Amino acid sequence: MKLENVEYCVANHVARIEMNRPEVLNALSKGMFRDLRKALDEAARDDDARVIEITGAGKAFSAGLDIREVGSFKSRAEAKEFVYDLIKPFWDQLFKCEKPIISLVDGPAYGAGAEIALASDIVIASTESTFAFSGGRVGALCCISGVIGPSLMNGRKLVEMNLAGIPLSADEAMNCGLVSHSVPREQLTPTLEKIVREITLVSPISNSGFKRIREADLSRTKLETAYKELLRTITSKDFREGSSAFVAKRAPEYYR
């Protein structure tokens, strides 16, 4: 399957989904969300794919939302289409996937990029990686972390990461439940291969059953609120200031 923003292949029963916009640290644009959903759908339907790996090309996993693109939206209608026609379908596809999903992180995983890692079943990170729920730094919001984070992470650290946008090292992220394994860069692939071997010793129907239970535990009310609040933030004056500051490489002034 040929996609513009994502490299997709299946080898040794692993469907590898690689975000491929290294020139912008794999920022999550309209096209990236669309291609990630398509790749996840393909992997879910491919009988040869037993495990799904999500990773990023170049020096980052993902820097989060493509602030330049989202900041250039001309209307609330365009922003609403982005949230409900692209972001929501991507998360729906990820949450309903019944195959094990492993995020392989080497470098920054910020904003929605950190949320993709959080929403994965297993996260393997190099010790050079960093994680931040940094959407608020640009006036946006890491809305999914508030839905799924409380069941996966230390609650106090989750709150602090969102309210202050402070990045964590891979070791710190592992200690608070965001990362499963923090290893030297050269151990990323061997660790992935070991875990995949262990997964293939487990019944696929057992794994799909476990993932169905996890998916059923998701609060639809919280998800609806999350998308509503994401739309509110990216159509706000705070986001106009934050995205402008991001492009100008200056500190935002939210309280002036």
3-state secondary structure labels for all residues of the chain: CCCCCEEEEEECCEEEEEECCHHHCCCECHHHHHHHHHHHHHHHHCCCCCEEEEEECCCCCECCECHHHHCCCCCHHHHHHHHHHHHHHHHHHHHHCCCCEEEEECCEEECHHHHHHHHCCEEEEECCCEEECCHHHHCCCCHHHHHHHHHCCCHHHHHHHHHHCCCEEHHHHHHCCCCCEEECHHHHHHHHHHHHHHHCCCCHHHHHHHHHHHHHCCCHHHHHHHHHHHHHHHCCHHHHHHHHHHHHCCCCCCCC
Encode pLDDT of 184-237 as tens digits: 999 999 999 999 999 999 999 999 999 999 999 999 999 999 999 999 999 999
Encode pLDDT of 146-164 as tens digits: 999 999 999 999 999 999 9
Asked whether the predicted pLDDT for residue 256 surpasses 90, the reply is no
Q: Sketch out the chain's domains with CATH numbers.
A: 6-187 (3.90.226.10)
Q: What is the pTM of this model?
A: 0.97
Encode pLDDT of 75-134 as tens digits: 999 999 999 999 999 999 999 999 999 999 999 999 999 999 999 999 999 999 999 999
| pLDDT for 216 | 96
